[in-house]
Every structure is written in structure tokens, then in C-alpha cells.
Amino acid sequence: MSERENLFRPVHKGIRAMLYQLGRELQTTDFTDVPASNLVIDRLRSGLGDTASNCILCLLKDHSSHEERDLFAPLRRQDPDVVDLMMREHAEVSSRIGTVLRQCSELAQTTELPRRIELGDRLNEEANDLFAYYLTHLNREESTIVPVMWERFTDDQLRELRARFYDAVPLARFETWMRWTLPAMNANELTVLFRGLKNGPPSERFADWVRLAHETLEPGRWKELADRIPLSLP
């Protein structure tokens, strides 16, 4: 990871980790075990559209909404074409989420076991299509938007955008994201992130960043990070 501020890479790593784990869980689910498989379905769909929910699909939609409001808006003045491309991809993501949601609903309402197997296979296919598209989208955001941001904004300006982005997220949702994101980052990425957080514009979330790093990183990784910056628990 570059020493420059990258607003997309950290949370994108968290999303990738989330999708990898969910994909593994889906493909090993026995859909003839109705109670257990319906719990998996509920993790995907419960509260869809409710930004207070921590269901997987809700998190994906919520991430897109925050990007559009807090990151795409200032970038649009600099490069509207690349923002329009990402907005079209967000719309496609939303459409694919809707398809997966409909599959979840049909499966949850089905009790006939052979039919549940059939619908479970279809759910895996639709979810895999969504995940593949979303992973490609994450790569495209990093390869197209990050270079534009580095060209048009200083690191101090990027840190201000990051503080605004995360300070606007409710604490419970912020914690959910960071519990996926921080363990998914390598040592150099963590160092760049926390150096920028510590030295950049004040953030209401800084103490929470440090606390969550301590809670989610393995002890050796936490010590290495705290020694490099240095950091202390609030």
C-alpha cells in the first residue's frame, strides 16, 4: 500500500473478508436443515433497507450510500465521468442485491426439502454473481477513483474527507465495519492508516479506532502497530 492516504482500500479489504466468509458459509449450508439454513438466510436479508441493521446485504447497500454522499460528492466537481461510472455500478449492485433478496424470501417460505435444495443451489448462484460483480467493482473503484483523488486532493484533504465519512456513521455501524476491516489489513496498511488518523484533522472516532484495533488485532499485531505509531488505549 502506498504511503499516500487511500480512503478505499481499508474498508474494501473488510468487505472482501466479509464476502469470502459468507460465500464459504453459503456453499456449505444444508438447506434441508430448515432452522439452521434459515438462520443463514436471515443473516443475508433481515432488515434490508434498515440502516440500523447489520445484515450482510444491508451493509453493502449502506457502504454505497456513504460513498456517494461523503466521497463521490466532492469528487464529482473534479471528475464527473468517473463518479457517474461508479454510480451506475452502485445501481447494478442494488439490483443484484434485490435478486438475492427475492431468492432468500422464496427459500424461507419453502418447506418441501427437494425444492429447498433446488432453491438453495439457485441462491448460491445468485449470491456468487453478486459477490463476483461486487469484488470487481471494488477493484475498479480503487484503480479509477484513488488515482484521481491523489491527483486532485492533498493527503490532508483526504484525511478530512475520511474523518467526515466515518464521523457520520453511527457508532454501532462503525464498530461493525471496523471489526471486519482492521483484521483484514496488513501491517504497513495499518501503520499508514493510524499515522494519518493520529496526525490528521481531529476525528470524533479516533479513540474508537484505537480501541477496536486493540480488540480485533492479534496481540502481536496490536503491539507492533502501537509501537510503530505509537498508540495508547483511551
Q: What is the pLDDT of residues 151-162, one digit of tens each?
A: 999 999 999 989
pLDDT surpasses 70 at 192? yes
pLDDT surpasses 70 at 54? no
**CA 118 to centroid of chain Cα atoms:** 30
Whole-number Å distance between alpha carbons of 77 and 180: 31
pLDDT at 52: 36
Residue 50 carries which side chain, given as an amino acid letter? Answer: D
Q: What is the pTM of this model?
A: 0.86
Beta strands in 50-121 (DSSP E): none
- Report which secondary-structure segment, H or E, holds 122: helix 113-152
pLDDT band at 164; cut points 50, 70, 90:
confident
The lowest-confidence range among 55-59, 105-109, 221-225 is 55-59
Q: Whose CA is closest to 34, among 98, 113, 103, 87?
A: 113
Q: Is-contact 14 184, C-beta < 8 A?
A: yes
Q: What is the DSSP secondary structure assignment for residue 1, as one 8-state letter?
A: -
pLDDT surpasses 90 at 117? yes
Alpha helices in the chain (DSSP H): 9-27, 34-45, 56-66, 73-76, 80-108, 113-152, 155-167, 171-181, 187-199, 206-216, 219-228
Tell me if the bond preceding 114 is cis, omega within 30° of 0.
no
Measured in residues, the chain has a length of 234
Q: How far apart are the first and last CA of the chain?
A: 28
Place of cell 438462520: 39
Whole-number Å distance between alpha carbons of 121 and 228: 47
Place of cell 486532493: 153
Whole-number Å distance between alpha carbons of 66 and 72: 9
pLDDT at 29: 96
Residue 99 carries which side chain, given as an amino acid letter? Answer: T
